[in-house]
Amino acid sequence: MSKNAMDVKPETRELFLRMVGDFAVDRKGVYPDCSNELEDLLYLAQIHSLGPVVYHMLQGQRKQLMEQKPELFQRMQRAYHSAVYVSVTQEASRAEIEEAFQNAGIRLVFFKGAQLRQLYPVPELRTMGDMDCLICREDRAKAHQLMIQLGYECQVDAEPVWMYNRNGIVIEMHTRVAADSLGNEVDYPTMFSDAMMHVHEENGYLCLEWEYHFCYLIYHIAKHLSSTGAGVRMIADIAAFMYRRANQMEWERVKSVLQEFQLWKTTLAVFGLCRRWFSVEVPADDTVSQQTLDDLKAYIIAGGTFGFETHDAGDIYRKRALRGGADTTGWKYRMRLTRSYLFPPKRYLVQYFSPTEKHSWLLPVAWFCRCWRGLVHRKRHSVATIQAMTQGDASRSYREVCMLREIGL
């Protein structure tokens, strides 16, 4: 049986969260002897992409851990040095790309982790699997040619995100920052379509305005929570954000935008976690119930960085189906489940046939392209998804739908 984060002792989970919070807000932490908890701490750190952070926070116990748990500590040490190397390489690649794009007259903005890591006391320890950047759509062809000239291979060329790889450095180049709805009828791609109008220069870099970026980060957390899950690192990003930027933010403006985007209840839940986990002051009253926060905490901690420790694609389709009714058996449930899989929203189908974005009447073509790819090129993946969707725990999915509904999702 595979390990689950909720099998780890509660006090060890709390110690892990305390370490992450202390790092996020640059707070000196004094911890008990972690020798007996090191294996579980390492497991939690690994599934949440926070291994370098935990290693960094344990430097005060370096000698005793090397003596009592040499293999585990050395494994953490190797992972730490590897992460720092990747981070330094990513930053060098970013500088190279930014310079090349500036010289070519193409406006390019790195955001999400590439911008957030500057909020941390040791930026290199805020790891990233890839780097996200934004360009104007009319610059796509020029940007593509420039990335090829820089030696990157284009691995995904479906709007709105193209993916490039050079020796393991992955760049996701967006023409819009939001590409998913959350099942609440809000058109987030349109709501966030003005991202390039909210760019300013700071410390020699172009970046998103902090108020705008904060609203986007809440959307990004909401998007992942609504699908398979969002990890502790995403909540730590908000804590670091609050610690470094809260006093410079126009909170009434932020609240107004998030209310318009139907994300304020989600924001309050994230604030609640920041306050409870990391002892961070937040600019809003705590209105989310303790039970909801407890359920959300378990969902986040067990799932890992993006929820894949406990969830898969099947969970996404089950949640979509269960938003339409409470029954988890019977033909009505099966019909909703089938519809959620066979007929995804337009924004999802666009990646299979890009002209659909401007011409909705081409949706049947996009749907056919998706079916063809699923039946011919990705048959094994399609079968695995359908099995996961139909054989998974529907009652668990319904409990999660109810919890997400409590936080506005």
Distance CA 111, CA 136 (A): 14
Query: DSSP secondary-structure letter at 124?
Result: G
Please answer whether residues 110 and 94 qualify as being in contact, where contact means their C-beta atoms are separated by less than 8 angstroms.
yes
Per-residue pLDDT of the chain (409 residues; tens, 9 = 90+): 467 888 889 999 999 999 999 999 999 888 999 889 999 999 999 999 999 999 999 998 989 998 899 899 999 999 999 999 999 999 999 999 999 999 999 999 999 999 999 999 999 999 999 999 999 999 999 999 999 999 999 998 887 899 999 999 999 999 999 877 777 778 888 899 999 999 998 888 889 999 999 999 999 999 999 988 999 999 999 999 999 988 888 999 999 999 999 999 999 999 999 999 999 988 888 788 999 999 999 999 999 999 989 888 888 878 877 776 666 676 677 777 777 777 777 767 777 777 777 777 778 787 777 777 777 777 787 777 777 777 777 888 889 888 999 999 8
CA–CA separation, 130 vs 110, rounded Å? Answer: 11
CB 225 within 8 A of CB 217: no
* Strands (E) located in 240-330: none
> Any alpha helices (H) in 285-345, and if so which ranges?
290-303, 313-322, 330-342
- Sheet arrangement for strand 169-174: 108-111, 131-135, 169-174, 161-166, 153-158
